[in-house]
Each structure stands twice: as structure tokens, then as C-alpha cells.
């Protein structure tokens, strides 16, 4: 079966040009750094769009399916426009993500609002946006949401998020489907939640269940298992409450390839498993076909993105490692520090040169743990070289910070030899733009207006 985007480390359009430089989207990455500076996030539009189409094609055998992009992976107005053009919906988890979608002109009826502690302001904003669905995570939110809906004299369509009790072999911080989790109703609590909706919280329209089993998943059987668990609950709810649920959201979580050691299944592989499990369990539980909703995020955007850095200082430890420092690190990619994440990389200006030394790539931040890649084989590395880290599209910008008061990098998108800025590079003035000084301390302050 055809490989899909999540199984390739590099963007689809990546190649080495006649100058021995890495090229993406028809653009020389060395020239991109000259034009836009570094660090620089680069996204390949063809890779993003191809992955969206692979998801739609893979699940096309099930007639009633909706693919939502999990926007927490990387959320900008440009991403919203691409998702709209490709026919995907959005999974949003905050007021800021909702606002970004609305501001881009995205059809808000195709947005689902998730999260374990939505604020009252965010829930009211969801009403203002006419968001499509709200996934309710707990009893407090049930009560709060019904109160808001009642005050506005409106009904709202909801899903209930459940904890299915499936533990995937991923980092413990990105497991969300196991029983000891901050997310969702335990299955033993589900009857109480549904009774409240049916008898007391009458401004809530229960449409279905949501179950998310985690992130960076390499196993296919867990997808079959979660379908079985959700449909078993559908059958129970039908028998006990007489409610026929219409939608089942099984989340996303498909793993991606960061290094050659990673071997994730393809989008087609998990689609086959999910659809076959659906067919088997619908028959087993004697249920009508619900709408199937999936929420891929990382697997759509991750391998479309790279980060470009400029090499600076280096240090040879006597009888030890050689450290090579770049002009970014844990503030633009916290994943190695947080998750011990591993990456693949090359020198973009020496893309096809032979690897002659083993170095450790260090970030510029004041933490000993600010290491991007340990012990990587590279050509002889010199100040001014362009270091390219692959598969950085998901969660790098989303989780970036201003640690050490360093401005956030720019992000660009490339296609057919053209490049466009989608996030401007921050300036020092941007860093202080929200700072305030009490009047009693303003003596001698520079006027930066």
C-alpha cells in the first residue's frame, strides 16, 4: 500500500539542488535564511494538502465521515484557509484557537470545541461563534454549559468525552485514553452524565461520544479497540435511555516518523482497521451507522515542517563530545527537553556532503538541558552553516516561548518556488509591548514609542 506523509521524515518536495543545498517547495533553504533570517520555521504547502487528501481518500469507504484538523498542533489563519479549501473541519481547544478560525473566515459550524477546563468566557464565545459542537469533559462543565445555554435561551449540541481505558505505548505525558487521566468521564460516570442531560440539563442536545486514546500512536489494534468500546456504550445508552447517538469521535493520535527508527502505520492502515471495526461492531451491537469523526493533527502538519538554524559557536570537550551551538533551541522546540524527543537533521548548505564528525547540537538558552540532538553525524560543521531539523511542523511553534527574552521566529510557507510569511518574526519591541511600569518607577525609562 502507498506510503503516506506521516511515514516520511522530509517534506514531499525536499531535494538537493545543484548547489548541494536542501531545497523545499522549489525554494533553496540557504536563500530562505538569507531572506528571512533564522531560526526559521518552513512549511511545505504541497505536503500539507497531500496529507489532507490522503485522509479523505483513506476514509472514503465509510460514507459518513468528517476529518477535523487538530489545530493545537499548529494554528494560524493560513492553516485555517488551507483546511477550509481541503474540506476539513477544525478541532479547537481554546478561545484563541476559536478566534483565529473565526477571524480567518472559517465556517464555524465545522469546528468542535474540546478541552478539560473551558472557561465561562470561552464557552460564551463558542455560542457567539456558533460553533458546531462542544465536547463536554466533566460534570462541572455540563452544569456550566447548560446554565449559559439557558440564560441565552438556546440549545447547544454536545458530545461527551469518555476515558476508554486504553493505554498506548507512548510517552506518559501524551497518553490520554487510560483510566488515570485528567480528560473525560470515566465509563462508570457516563450514566449519571446522560441522566443529567436527559432530565435536568435540557438545553444540551447529546449527539454522541468522544474518545481520544493519545498521541504518537504506532499500534493499529488500539483503534479497533476504541471503536468497540465506544459502540458498546452506544448500545448501552440506546438500551437504557432510549437514545440513539448520531456521532462518534475517536480522536487522532496517528504517529509520525521523526527518525529512521520510527515505523508508524500509514493513514490507509488505520483507516482500514477503524472502518472494519466499525462494520463488525455495528453488526454486533445492532446499531445504525453513526457519523465517524477523526481528529488528526500532528500527522497532517508535522512532516511538512522544518526548522532552519544558523550555526554559531562550538566547544570540544577534552576526551569528550563536540558541542555545536545554533541560534535557537528549547524556546522554539521544547520537545527534546520535555519528551526526550529525537529528530533527524542535515546541514542544508552541505546537504550531500559526507558525514565526517559526530557532534551534539546545543541550543543557545541558559539551560544544560537545551540540547536539540545528541551525537549526530554531520559534515565538518562551521559557524555560518545552516542546520535543518526535519519533522518540526507540529507543536514546535505551538509550544514555543520567550525564554531568556528571545523573540519567536518567523514562519513561512513555500510552494512552487515561492515563499510567503505566515507568522512575522518578533522584534525586541514586540517583547516589551505588553510590559507596564508603575508610574513611581518610570524615572529614566527610555521612550520607545
Number of structural domains the chain divides into: 2
Neighbours of 131 (CB within 10 A): 23
CATH number of the domain enclosing 159: 3.20.20.10
Strands 371-378 and 386-390: unpaired
What nine digits make up the cell of 142?
Answer: 455540563
First-last CA distance in the chain: 59
Which pLDDT band, with edges at 50, 70 and 90, does 177 fall under?
very low
Of the residues 302, 319, 337, the one at which a domain ends: 302
CA distance 154 to 56: 33
HSE-CB for 273 with a 13 A CA cutoff: 19
Query: Nearest-CA neighbor of 159 among 94, 208, 116?
Result: 208
Give residue 183's pLDDT.
81
Residue 49 CA: distances (Å) to CA of 244, 392, 440: 35, 17, 54
Of the residues 302, 332, 349, the one at which a domain ends: 302
**pLDDT tens per residue, range 240-298:** 999 999 999 999 999 999 999 999 999 999 999 999 999 999 999 999 999 999 999 99
**pLDDT tens per residue, range 390-423:** 999 999 999 999 999 999 999 999 999 999 999 9
Q: Is the pTM of this model over 0.85?
A: yes
Same domain? 8 vs 60:
no
CA distance 444 to 437: 12
State mean pLDDT over 61-83. Answer: 97
HSE-CB for 74 with a 13 A CA cutoff: 31
Distance of CA 1 to the CA centre of its chain: 26
Same domain? 26 vs 9:
yes
Give residue 447's pLDDT.
60
Of the residues 281, 302, 323, the one at which a domain ends: 302
Same domain? 74 vs 153:
yes
Residue 19 CA: distances (Å) to CA of 30, 33, 348, 416, 417: 10, 15, 10, 18, 16
CA distance 226 to 213: 8
Residue 93 CA: distances (Å) to CA of 71, 115, 226: 8, 5, 22
Range of the domain at 158: 45-302
Query: Nearest-CA neighbor of 274 among 60, 79, 35?
Result: 60
CATH number of the domain enclosing 399: 2.40.37.10
Burial of 444 (0-12, 13-18, 19+ CB in 10 A): exposed
Residue 180 CA: distances (Å) to CA of 166, 172, 338, 418: 10, 11, 20, 48
CB 43 within 8 A of CB 411: yes
Catalytic residue IDs: 366
* Mean pLDDT across the chain: 94
Report which DSSP code applies to 285. Answer: H
What nine digits make up the cell of 233?
Answer: 456504550
3-state secondary structure of 93: coil
Same domain? 70 vs 213:
yes
pLDDT at 321 over 80: yes
Same domain? 100 vs 215:
yes
Burial of 291 (0-12, 13-18, 19+ CB in 10 A): middle
Same domain? 425 vs 347:
yes
Same domain? 292 vs 325:
no
Same domain? 238 vs 348:
no
Same domain? 166 vs 20:
no
3-state secondary structure of 264: coil
Same domain? 279 vs 342:
no
Provide the percentage of residues in the chain whose pLDDT is more than 90.
91
Give residue 69's pLDDT.
98
Same domain? 199 vs 343:
no
Same domain? 327 vs 407:
yes
Which pLDDT band, with edges at 50, 70 and 90, does 435 fall under?
very high
Amino acid at each position: 500500500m502507498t506510503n503516506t506523509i506521516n511515514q516520511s521524515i522530509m517534506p514531499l518536495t525536499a531535494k538537493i539542488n545543484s548547489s548541494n543545498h536542501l531545497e523545499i517547495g522549489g525554494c533553496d533553504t540557504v536563500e530562505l535564511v538569507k531572506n528571512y533570517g533564522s531560526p526559521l520555521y518552513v512549511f511545505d504547502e504541497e505536503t500539507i494538502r497531500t496529507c489532507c487528501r490522503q485522509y479523505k481518500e483513506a476514509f472514503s469507504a465509510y460514507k459518513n465521515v468528517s476529518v477535523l484538523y487538530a489545530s493545537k498542533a499548529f494554528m494560524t489563519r493560513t492553516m485555517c484557509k488551507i483546511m477550509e479549501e481541503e474540506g476539513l473541519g477544525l478541532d479547537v481547544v481554546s478561545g484563541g484557537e476559536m478566534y483565529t478560525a473565526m477571524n480567518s473566515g472559517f465556517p464555524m459550524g465545522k469546528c468542535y470545541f474540546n478541552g478539560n477546563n473551558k472557561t465561562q468566557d470561552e464557552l460564551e464565545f463558542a455560542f457567539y461563534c456558533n460553533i458546531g459542537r462542544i465536547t463536554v469533559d466533566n460534570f462541572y462543565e455540563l452544569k456550566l454549559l447548560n446554565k449559559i445555554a439557558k440564560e441565552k435561551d438556546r440549545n447547544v449540541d454536545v458530545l461527551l468525552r469518555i476515558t476508554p481505558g486504553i493505554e498506548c505505548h507512548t510517552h506518559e505525558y501524551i497518553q490520554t485514553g487510560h483510566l488515570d487521566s485528567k480528560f473525560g468521564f470515566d465509563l462508570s460516570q457516563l450514566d449519571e452524565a446522560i441522566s443529567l442531560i436527559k432530565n435536568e440539563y435540557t438545553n444540551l442536545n447529546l449527539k454522541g461520544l468522544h474518545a481520544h486514546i493519545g498521541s504518537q500512536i504506532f499500534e493499529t489494534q488500539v483503534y479497533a479497540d476504541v471503536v468497540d468500546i465506544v459502540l458498546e456504550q452506544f448500545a448501552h445508552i440506546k438500551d437504557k435511555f432510549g437514545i440513539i447517538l448520531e456521532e462518534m469521535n475517536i480522536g487522532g493520535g496517528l504517529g509520525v516518523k521523526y527518525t529512521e527508527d520510527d515505523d508508524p502505520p500509514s493513514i490507509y492502515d488505520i483507516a482500514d482497521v477503524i472502518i472494519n471495526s466499525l462494520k463488525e461492531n455495528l453488526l454486533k451491537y445492532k446499531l445504525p451507522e453513526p457519523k465517524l469523526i477523526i481528529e488528526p493533527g500532528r500527522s497532517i502538519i508535522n512532516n511538512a515542517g522544518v526548522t532552519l538554524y544558523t550555526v554559531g559557536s562550538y566547544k570540544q570537550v577534552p576526551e569528550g563530545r563536540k558541542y555545536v551551538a545554533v541560534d535557537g533551541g528549547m524556546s522554539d522546540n521544547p520537545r527534546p527537553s520535555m519528551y526526550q524527543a529525537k529528530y533527524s537533521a542535515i546541514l542544508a548548505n552541505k546537504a550531500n556532503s559526507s558525514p565526517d564528525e559526530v557532534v551534539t547540537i546545543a541550543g543557545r538558552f541558559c539551560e544544560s538541558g537545551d540540547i536539540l540532538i545528541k551525537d549526530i553525524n554531520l559534515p565538518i560543521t562551521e559557524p555560518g552553516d545552516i542546520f535543518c531539523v526535519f519533522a518540526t511542523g507540529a507543536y514546535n511553534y505551538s509550544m514555543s516561548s520567550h525564554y531568556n527574552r528571545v523573540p519567536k521566529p518567523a514562519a513561512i510557507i513555500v510552494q512552487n518556488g515561492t515563499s510567503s510569511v505566515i507568522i512575522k518574526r518578533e522584534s525586541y519591541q514586540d517583547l516589551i509591548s505588553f510590559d507596564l511600569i508603575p508610574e513611581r518607577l518610570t524615572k529614566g525609562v527610555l521612550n520607545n514609542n
